[in-house]
Amino acid sequence: MIGWLHPGLILILGAFLIPLFKGKWRQGYLLIPPIAALIDVILMYTGVFGDIPFSTWRLPFLEYELVFGRVDKLSFIFGLIFTIATIIATLYALHVKSSSEHMSQYIYVGSALGVVFAGDLITLYIFWEIMAIASTLIIWHGATDKAHRAGFRYIMWHIAGGIILLAGIVMYITTTGSITFNAIGWSSSSTYLPSLLIFIGFIINAAVPPLHAWLPDAYPEASVTGTIFLSIFTTKTAVYVLARGFEGYDVLIWLGALMVVYPIFYAVLENDLRRVLCYSLINQVGFMLVGIGIGTALSMNGAISHAFGNILFEGLLFLCVGSVLYRTGTCKCTELGGLYKTMPLTAAFCFVGAASISAFPFFTGFVTKSMVMDAASNAHMALLSVLLLLASAGVFHHAGIKVPYFAFFAEDAHLKARDPPINMLLAMGIAAISCIFIGVYPYSLYQILPYSVEFVPYTASHMIGQLQLLLFASLAFVVLIKTGLYPPEQRKINLDSDWPLRIAGAKLMWFFEGPLVNFATWVDNGLKRIAADFSAYGEEKEEKVFIGVSVMLALLFLAMYLIVQLAYGWIFAS
């Protein structure tokens, strides 16, 4: 049945109409596709357009059936936040004049929605690859040499991930005879390898260390608005497919635990605030993977609600840092400070984002992250609980304190700046209000989660425990700053897990361009000399050359015959 237009197609097809509009008309048009997609998602879920929550938009393909529109609570909540975030990001980007950049952003979002509503592995893979290509184009719209090189490295990572994913999908379909995308896992020995390959393809997009360096390498090199879009979709689609396919698999618990701890050290050392937020993004995805790995109703609700909230508050921080970059031309800690005087609204919105990601009571992070941490405690995972607690303190240090402090309150850099244009302020305002609204009234989010919610965030023990954590983390930051023990902000390059690959890649290119080319040249010249020697015999020697070649071939075949006979006799005798 086809009773509605796929929300992803609304954005993908809408992208190709963007060049037809100019000036104010284009700004007005840009808001129409994401708003239409949001309405479409809501109507799909409420059942206005047919047999929802069952699958729609089916297309025969070979002996299978592609399902473009599988709608249930899990796909709905991701589709909802994706379209809401697209409206906010588009509003923020209205001043951008590049039609091609807007087009690549809409195709990127549309393909992410295609992944979310895909009911089969083939459809998922098609949109997965479109998403990789579109996001690379967004990076290249950074229009610098660093952006072009980072985009090339980015697409190489995702080509590798796509090949691994495709191999897993082909093997899985061959083994099971089904293309349906539901729980996959690797409990069966026959599906172990294909399921593992699919899993690896998914976790590359989730930026699980050490397969994560593409994210902080590439995202900060995009344009101000491009980074906003990139921060929302790729990692969250990975969270979605892992929640759909690998719920309750213990390996995700410890991969997530690695994610929540590892990026903190880099975030503290980074001088570029957009790179700080990229490492923060990896850290937050770690909480989601832990929740998916635990696999209880509480942890799954926590992981999914935290993905929903993170898109809002992490996005808000990217919006604020992007505004600083837009007005000052830099987002380096060593070059900023004192901007609260000239960019007061941006500073206020940044505080909301910082409070939300730090899980202050009455902000989004408090009512989402608490579910994951409680689920770990209820599962009696003491080590995991300690790691999550330490990671929460680390998040407060680098995203809750470092970002607003160095951008707005460090030593005044005397930069001439002011709050950004009204469209950017409105986008930040909507995101900030959403963070506060969900924090104050969490049941607006809880009621659309996949499982029934009995969790109550605002208890005395929750609030006192979280406030104590935030208080001691704040005290530690002040002490470290005052004593000079806090790592100083420096203009430097921090080597991450991609440095062995970069060295290996450089050596490989040297081999291709040097020894391999020289060897090929030597072979080519040798063949040319042999050909010249043959041609030198002239026509009068042609018959002798033919006889010589025939004798050589005969001797070769005779030798091969003798070898085969000897081998056969040895085998028969054995």
Residue 202 is encoded by which pair of tokens?
Answer: 């998914």
In the prediction, which pLDDT does 2 show?
A: 44
* Percent of the residues in the chain that have a pLDDT greater than 70, as a whole number: 88
Residue 129 is encoded by which pair of tokens?
Answer: 């690859």
Q: In 3-state terms, what secondary structure has residue 58?
A: strand
Q: Is residue 132 a contact partner of residue 237, using CB atoms and an 8 Å limit? A: no
Listing DSSP states for 348-402 in one string gives HHHHHHHHHHTT-TTSHHHHHHHHHHHHHHHTT-HHHHHHHHHHHHHHIIIIIII
Question: Which residues are 56's β-sheet partners?
Answer: 69
Q: Is residue 359 a contact partner of residue 330, using CB atoms and an 8 Å limit? A: no
Total residues belonging to the chain: 574
- Rounded Cα distance between 417 and 113, Å, is 37
List of residues 6+ apart from 303 with CB closer than 8 A: 239, 243, 287, 288, 289, 290, 291, 292, 372
421: left (phi over 0), alpha (psi -120 to 50) or beta: beta
- Rounded Cα distance between 376 and 388, Å, is 9
233: number of Cβ within 10 Å: 27
Residue 199 is encoded by which pair of tokens?
Answer: 């899993």
In the DSSP assignment, the letter for residue 56 is E
Site of tokens 């003491």: 382
Q: What is the pLDDT of residues 111-145, one digit of tens each?
A: 999 999 999 999 999 999 999 999 999 999 999 99
- Rounded Cα distance between 200 and 304, Å, is 21
- Rounded Cα distance between 9 and 101, Å, is 18
In the prediction, which pLDDT does 397 show?
A: 85
Q: Is residue 152 a contact partner of residue 218, using CB atoms and an 8 Å limit? A: no
H or E element, residue 535: helix 517-536
CA-to-CA separations, 494 to 264, 396, 491, 497, in angstroms, rounded: 13, 21, 10, 10
Split the chain (574 residues) into runs of 10 and give each run's mean pLDDT: 74 96 93 96 73 60 86 94 98 95 97 96 96 97 94 94 96 93 83 94 95 94 96 97 95 96 90 95 97 96 97 97 95 91 96 95 95 93 93 89 90 88 97 97 94 92 90 84 73 73 74 73 74 56 52 62 61 50
In the prediction, which pLDDT does 564 show?
A: 63
List of residues 6+ apart from 116 with CB closer than 8 A: 75, 78, 79, 82, 237, 240
Q: In 3-state terms, what secondary structure has residue 61?
A: strand
CA-to-CA separations, 256 to 179, 203, 261, 288, 385, in angstroms, rounded: 28, 10, 9, 7, 12
496: left (phi over 0), alpha (psi -120 to 50) or beta: beta
Q: Is residue 281 a contact partner of residue 231, using CB atoms and an 8 Å limit? A: yes
Q: What is the pLDDT of residues 225-274, one digit of tens each?
A: 999 999 999 999 999 999 999 999 999 999 999 999 999 989 888 999 99
Q: Is residue 315 a contact partner of residue 357, using CB atoms and an 8 Å limit? A: no
Q: In 3-state terms, what secondary structure has residue 574?
A: coil
Residue 520, Cβ density class (10 Å: 0-12 exposed, 13-18 middle, ≥19 buried): exposed
In the prediction, which pLDDT does 83 show?
A: 97
Residue 35, Cβ density class (10 Å: 0-12 exposed, 13-18 middle, ≥19 buried): middle
In the prediction, which pLDDT does 164 show?
A: 96
Q: Is residue 394 a contact partner of residue 264, using CB atoms and an 8 Å limit? A: yes
CA-to-CA separations, 207 to 165, 211, 286, in angstroms, rounded: 15, 6, 9
Q: Is residue 162 a contact partner of residue 201, using CB atoms and an 8 Å limit? A: yes
